[in-house]
Every structure is written in C-alpha cells, then in structure tokens.
C-alpha cells in the first residue's frame, strides 16, 4: 500500500525515494502533528491526559503484535505475556542494589528499560521456537501456552510473590529518571510514552523497509516460496519474535512506570486478545493501523463509560465493554476487513489524485 | 509412595479426562467440519451449561419427573437455534475468506458471548439444586468413583460412537470432511458449504452444552468454567486436530497427566502445577509432533 503522490511530483534520486517526508505538504502535516502531540495535548487537553497515556500504551503494545502478525504472519494470542515479562523485569531489576551515583545521574532507568526489553525479547524467542516447525493455528496454540505458562504460572505463583504474598510490586516514581529528568507527573509520563512511541515507530518502519522487513513480508505472503528463494525463514521468524518481544517488554516497562504498581490482572489472556483486536480494527499490515486501532479502542471505552454513566448501571460496565469490543471486531471483519487504515489510505489518495482519479 | 493414592490419582485423571474429552470433541468437530479453530468454545460451553441450569431449576420448580434429561434435551434444541443464528449472522459472509479471519471472528464472538453471559447470569457461582447425581460414590477395588464422572464418561463414549459413524458413513459427514479439507474444491463439486458451516456450528454448540452441563453438575457454574475449556486445548493437540477418537483419548491422557503431575510435583512447587502442566506438555509436543497422534499431515505446495 503505497500512497500515490500528487500530480507533478517526481523522484529523481534514491534518497528522495526513501525519504520519510516526500513533499513539503507532508512535512508540514508532520510538523503540525508534532506540535499537537508535544504542545497541544499535554498543555491544553490536560483533562484527557489519562486517555492519551492509555492510547500510547495500547499503540505501543499493538505495534509489536502488528510486526508479528501483520508483517511476519506469525499469529500470536499471548502477547500480554511478553508485556508482563518486561514490566516485572523492569521492576525487579530496578529494585536491585544499584550504586547511588548511578541513581543520581539517572542512567539506571534507561538501562533497565533496555534490559527488560531484551529479556522479554528472549522470552518471546523461546516461545517462537516452535514456529520453525508449525504455523497457523498450531502456532496460536503455542503462543496461548506462552500466556498461561508465563502469566498464570511463573508470574502469578512465583514472581509476584516476591516481597510478600498478595502484595503487588511497586516502583517509586522518583526512581524513573532519565538523566536529570524525573518522570513523575502525568505530563512527564505522557512525554515519556510519546518519545518511546516515536522511537519504536521509527525502529519498526526502518526494519520493515530494510532487508529483514522484506524477508518478513515474503514469509507472511508465502513461507514455502520464501524459503525456496533462499530466505532463512527460521532465522527471520525468530528475529521477528525478538523484535516484537522487545517492543512488548519496553511497553510493559512503560506501563509499570506509568502506574508505579503492577499486578497479574493487567496481563491476562483477554489483554492479549485485546491487542490483536486493536490491529484487526486498525488494519493488519499497516503501521498507521496500530494508532487508528488504539485510538478507536480508547475512544470507544471512553464513550461507553460516558453513556453508561449517564444511563446508569455502571456495575455491568465490564460486560458492556466486552460486548462492544467483540461486536467491533466482528463488525470490522465483516464490513471493513482491511481496517481503518485502508479507509485513511483511500481518502488520502482521493485528495492526492483529485480531480482526475483514474 | 502410596500405591493406592497413585491409583486414585490415575482413576481421578481418567474421570476428569472424560469431561475434557467431551469438550475436546467440540473443538475437533468444528475443526473437522470447517477447518476453523473455534476459540469461542469456552463461551459456548458456558452458554450451554447456564441454559441447562436455568431450565433445570425451572423444571424442578414445576415438579417434572425427569428434570436433568429433559433440561439437557431442551438445551440441545435451543443450541440448534443458536448455532444456526450465530453462523448465519456472523460467519456466513466469511466463506472463502482466509482461515485466520474466521479464527479472529471466533475471538470476537468469544467476547460478545462472555459479555452476554455476564450480563444475564452475573458472576456468582450457581449450582444445580438439588444435585443431579447423588453424592454417594461407590467403590471399585478400593477407589472412589463419583457418579458424575461415570455418566460423563458414558456421554463421551456414546457421542464418540455417534460422531465416528456420522463422519464415516453419512453423506453429510463426508461433505463436512470434504469442506474442511478444501473449501474451494468442495464448493466446485456442489457441496453446500453454507449448510456444512451451520451444521458445524450447531454440532459445536451441542457438544459444548453437554460438556458444560456435566461440568456444572459436578462443581457448579461460574464464568471461569469458560476458561477451563482452554485447558482442553492440549488434549486436542495430543489427539490431532481432526481426529474424533483422538479427542477422547487426548482428553483422558491430559486428565491423567494433570492429576499425576499435581500428585507428584506439587510438593516441589508453590502450586498451580496442575493447571500449567498440560500447556508445557503441549509446547513440547508441538515441537516434536505438531500434527498430533492421528491428525492429518498437510502437504503444502507453492
């Protein structure tokens, strides 16, 4: 899905062809978006900051799932497990006796973020190993097993018991420091998430337009053909699992930093399905889709809470949420199988090619 | 080690496994008919069980002589209607779409059904009152056997025989297998895929209801019974995704494995081994024998 350029725009060098922002109009749009994201949201929409943080969390989490499902074609229904691994790893490593000068300099948390991402990535690769032999729904079963083994057994029975039974792990917010910048207010958390999203977004986009990404797409489209063309599919599949798990782990760590407390309830099987639902609604195989899907979800839940709050019956909100989510997935699969990103692509092309859209 | 305790664990495993086998049968049947892994199976179990319970309580109130059997029968009738409607509303348009789309559709249905069950029956545990099967267990060779298990075993075995014959000898069963094998080829040979799909969903609803009713009669019902049916997945994998006898055998093996691992390993772990052992087993099994004991090995060509 490449976007058509407006009439009269030609590329003469490869650098132009590979550029992120190919016309001045697009650059202007992006600057506007950055202004909105960096200034308008944190300073003028302060009432909705929690919703925006949730949006960032969902889109970061779904980014890893998108890479695995949308680009590498490896269906995963257990991604919340890797989020959980990242979150718990970041909390536990942060609780280690770090030297005081490192804490003061604020280099510990960035390090912890990286390490927890890597741990989650390795954990993801372990459960991706069967993908060398099986695919399709057999792989779904393996990833579901990852969910139950990791969250319901290891984390619920062992790791969350550290520091006392029935006691959730906590992380004091003044430990979350990047150099001199302490992430403690809501606005700081928002900025932290935003920068993380931009970094991860660039990482995924660059992965996808370089060699591994092309290999992943080839594996997604037809793995046997890809193998016969000389692509080492096991290696690339595992690489996709690693990158996806890494993003998942970083997302989990971000979730932990934004809440300062984590429990097993945050990473249930339902959450895994929720992440897959986001990319289904946003559009499978599209980076835009992640953000559209996450925005749709956050907006849907917010609207639902408002409506239910007005009508009454807030006790059943969890069931209304589940029904709405399920119907959204079903509706999108039936009526808009390419997701919201496809609509966006179509309308963009309509304006790019106007008035002669042939 | 106490041999009687070990024997008791094995016997208990066989008994629990027969209920697993019943639910596993639902997974296998819908896979065998339409090539779809129905992730909403747990919620179908819930719906069937709750419906059966509601009808049972009603029949008890009006003093019906055979409450459980009649309730089960009425539930199965309702399942036909619900299975047909589900297929017509949600899955009919997806014929010819990639299998993964259909699987995701079942995920959506799972959320819808779970929300509906929560709305209608809420989350409290409900029990069949008065109990369907009397609690006075009987002994075989010093091992206690509960009546619920015995009856669910009977149900599992009879369903197994019925579906074995159904798939082997009736034209409907054969057309279902053909559809599962290759939907396009089946369509071009004049098989009504729409009919096959709705029949598959009706059958899935019905087996799930039977399994759910027995589970509910044993332990009482709450929303976590739906999650239990995910525990059945290892059984399905063990037997092979499209093997009816495999479902029963896999169910029993997983039941025994679960009881044994709980019995042998629980002293060394802080608990939860029982619920996780099947999944560990499944991952290892998938690594070495992904198509199960009796599943079809698919040969793919480019």
Domain contains B294: no
Domain contains B299: no
What is the rounded distance in angstroms from the CA atom of residue B250 to the CA atom of residue B246? 6
* CATH number of domain containing B125: 1.10.3470
Confidence of residue B159 (pLDDT cuts 50, 70, 90): confident
Domain contains B183: yes
pLDDT per residue as tens digits for the range A305-326: 888 888 876 777 888 888 999 9
Domain contains A259: yes
pLDDT score of A236 more than 90: yes
φ, ψ dihedrals at B143, nearest 5°: -110, 130
Q: How far is B287 from chain A (nearest CA, A)?
A: 5
Most confidently modeled range among A54-68, A123-137, A149-163: A54-68
Confidence of residue A151 (pLDDT cuts 50, 70, 90): confident
For residue A181, the cross-strand partners are A178
pLDDT score of A1 more than 60: no
Tell me the mean pLDDT in the region A113-125: 94
Confidence of residue B302 (pLDDT cuts 50, 70, 90): low
Query: Which chain A residue shows the shortest CA-CA distance from B101?
Result: A333
Domain contains B205: yes
Domain contains A356: no
Coil, strand or helix: which one is A162? coil
pLDDT given for residue A204 in this prediction: 93
Tell me the mean pLDDT in the region A262-275: 87
Q: Which helix (H) or strand (E) holds A313?
A: none
What is the rounded distance in angstroms from the CA atom of residue A151 to the CA atom of residue A157? 9
Domain contains B107: yes
Domain contains A239: yes
ipTM: 0.83
pLDDT per residue as tens digits for the range B32-72: 777 777 888 888 888 888 898 888 888 888 877 788 888 88
DSSP result, B222-245 = -TTHHHHTTTTHHHHHHH-TT-HH
Share of chain A above pLDDT 90, in %: 37
- Residue ranges of A 309-348 with Cβ closer than 8 A to chain B: 316, 318-330, 333-334, 337
Provide the domain limits for residue A127: 47-265
- B272/A144 touch (CB, cutoff 8 Å), yes or no: no
Of A80-84, A313-317, B3-7, B182-186, the one with minimum mean pLDDT is A313-317
Tell me the mean pLDDT in the region B74-98: 87
Share of chain B above pLDDT 90, in %: 4
- A328/B283 touch (CB, cutoff 8 Å), yes or no: no
Nearest CB to B279 within list A145, A277, A333: A145
CA distances from A140 to A79, A82, A147, B31, B257 (A): 11, 15, 11, 14, 22
Of A62-66, A324-328, B130-134, B286-290, the one with minimum mean pLDDT is B130-134
Contact B108, A312 (CB under 8 A): no
What is the rounded distance in angstroms from the CA atom of residue B168 to the CA atom of residue B174? 7
pLDDT per residue as tens digits for the range B184-197: 888 888 888 888 88
Provide the domain limits for residue B151: 3-288
Share of chain A above pLDDT 70, in %: 97
Domain contains A198: yes
The residue that leads in pLDDT, A328 or B152, is A328
C-beta atoms surrounding A138 within 10 Å:
21
* pTM of the predicted model over 0.95: no
Domain contains B301: no
- B115/A130 touch (CB, cutoff 8 Å), yes or no: no
Give the total number of structural domains in chain A: 1
Pull the structure tokens for residue A184.
């403690």
Give the total number of structural domains in chain B: 1
Contact A148, B283 (CB under 8 A): no
pLDDT per residue as tens digits for the range B254-278: 888 888 888 787 777 766 777 788 8
Domain contains A113: yes
Domain contains B297: no
DSSP result, chain B = --HHHHHHHHHHHHHHHHHHHHHHHHHHHHHHHHS---TTHHHHHHHHHHHHHHHHHHHHHHT-SSHHHHHHHHHHHHHHHHHHHHIIIIIGGGTTS-HHHHHHHHHHHHHHHHHHHHHHH-SS-B--SS-SS-S--EEETTEEE-HHHHHHHHHHHHHHHHHHHHHHH-HHHHHHHHHHH-HHHHHHTT--HHHHHHHHHHHHHHHHHHHHHHHHHHH-B-TTHHHHTTTTHHHHHHH-TT-HHHHHHHHHHHHHHHHHHHHHHGGGSSS-HHHHHHHHHHHHHHHH-TTTTTPPPPP---
Nearest CB to B286 within list A134, A224, A277: A134
Give the closest residue to B193 by CA, choosing from B169, B204, B207, B177: B177
Tell me the mean pLDDT in the region A51-63: 93
Tell me the mean pLDDT in the region B238-256: 84
Tell me the mean pLDDT in the region A108-129: 92
Domain contains B277: yes
CA distances from A270 to A147, A337, B293 (A): 10, 22, 30
């Amino acid at each position: 899905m490449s976007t058509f350029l407006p009439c009269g725009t030609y590329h003469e060098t490869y650098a132009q062809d590979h550029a992120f922002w190919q016309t001045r109009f697009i650059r202007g749009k992006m600057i506007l978006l950055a202004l909105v994201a960096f200034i308008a949201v944190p300073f003028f929409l302060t009432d909705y900051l929690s919703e925006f943080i949730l949006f960032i969390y969902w889109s970061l989490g779904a980014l890893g799932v998108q890479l695995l499902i949308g680009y590498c074609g490896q269906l995963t229904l257990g991604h919340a497990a890797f989020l959980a691994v990242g979150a718990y790893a970041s909390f536990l490593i942060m609780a280690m006796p770090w030297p005081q000068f490192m804490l003061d300099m604020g280099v510990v948390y960035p390090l912890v973020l990286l390490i927890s991402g890597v741990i989650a990535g390795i954990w993801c690769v372990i459960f991706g190993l069967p993908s060398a032999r099986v695919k399709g729904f057999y792989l779904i079963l393996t990833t579901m097993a990852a969910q139950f083994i990791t969250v319901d057994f290891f984390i619920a029975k062992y790791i969350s018991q550290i520091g006392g039974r029935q006691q959730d792990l906590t992380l004091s917010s003044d430990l979350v420091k990047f150099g001199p910048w302490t992430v403690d207010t809501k606005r700081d958390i928002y900025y932290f998430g935003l920068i993380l999203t931009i970094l991860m977004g660039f990482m995924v986009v660059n992965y996808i337009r370089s060699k591994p990404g092309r290999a992943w797409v080839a594996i997604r489209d037809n793995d046997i053909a890809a193998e016969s063309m000389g692509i080492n599919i096991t290696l690339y599949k595992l690489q996709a699992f690693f990158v996806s798990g890494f993003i998942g782990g970083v997302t989990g760590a971000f979730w932990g930093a934004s809440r300062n407390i984590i429990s097993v309830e945050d990473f249930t099987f339902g959450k895994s399905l929720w992440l897959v639902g986001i990319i289904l609604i946003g559009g499978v195989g599209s980076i835009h889709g992640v953000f559209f899907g996450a925005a749709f979800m956050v907006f849907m839940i917010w609207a639902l809470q408002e409506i239910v709050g007005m009508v009454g019956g807030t006790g059943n909100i969890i069931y209304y949420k589940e029904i709405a989510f399920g119907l959204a997935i079903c509706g999108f699969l039936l009526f808009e199988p390419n997701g919201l990103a496809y609509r966006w692509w179509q309308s963009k092309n309509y304006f790019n090619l106007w008035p002669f859209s042939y | 080690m106490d041999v009687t305790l070990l024997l008791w664990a094995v016997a208990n495993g066989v008994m629990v496994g027969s209920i697993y086998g019943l639910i596993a049968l639902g997974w296998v049947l819908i896979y065998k008919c339409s090539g779809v892994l129905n992730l909403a199976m747990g919620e179908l179990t819930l719906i069937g069980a709750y419906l059966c319970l509601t009808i049972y309580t009603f029949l008890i109130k009006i003093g019906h002589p055979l409450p459980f059997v009649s309730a089960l029968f009425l539930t199965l009738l309702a399942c036909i209607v619900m299975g047909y409607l589900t297929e017509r509303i949600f899955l009919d348009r997806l014929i010819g779409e990639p299998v993964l789309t259909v699987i995701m559709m079942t995920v959506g249905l799972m959320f819808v059904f779970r929300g509906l069950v929560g709305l209608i029956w809420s989350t409290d545990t409900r029990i069949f009152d008065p109990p369907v099967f009397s609690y006075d267990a009987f002994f075989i060779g010093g091992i206690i056997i509960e009546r619920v298990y015995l009856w669910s075993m009977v149900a599992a075995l009879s369903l197994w025989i019925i579906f074995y014959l159904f798939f082997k000898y009736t034209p409907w069963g054969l057309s279902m297998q053909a559809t599962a094998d290759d939907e396009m080829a089946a369509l071009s040979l004049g098989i009504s895929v729409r009919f096959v799909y709705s029949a598959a969903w009706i059958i899935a609803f019905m087996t799930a209801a039977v399994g759910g009713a027995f589970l509910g009669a044993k332990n009482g019902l709450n929303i976590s019974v739906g999650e239990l049916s995910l525990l059945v997945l290892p059984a399905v994998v063990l037997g092979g995704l499209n093997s009816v006898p495999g479902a029963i055998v896999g169910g029993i093996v997983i039941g025994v494995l679960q009881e044994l691992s709980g019995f042998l390993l629980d002293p060394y772990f802080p608990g939860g081994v029982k619920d996780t052992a099947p999944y560990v087993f499944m991952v290892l099994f998938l690594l070495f024998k992904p198509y199960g004991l009796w599943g079809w090995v698919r040969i793919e060509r480019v």
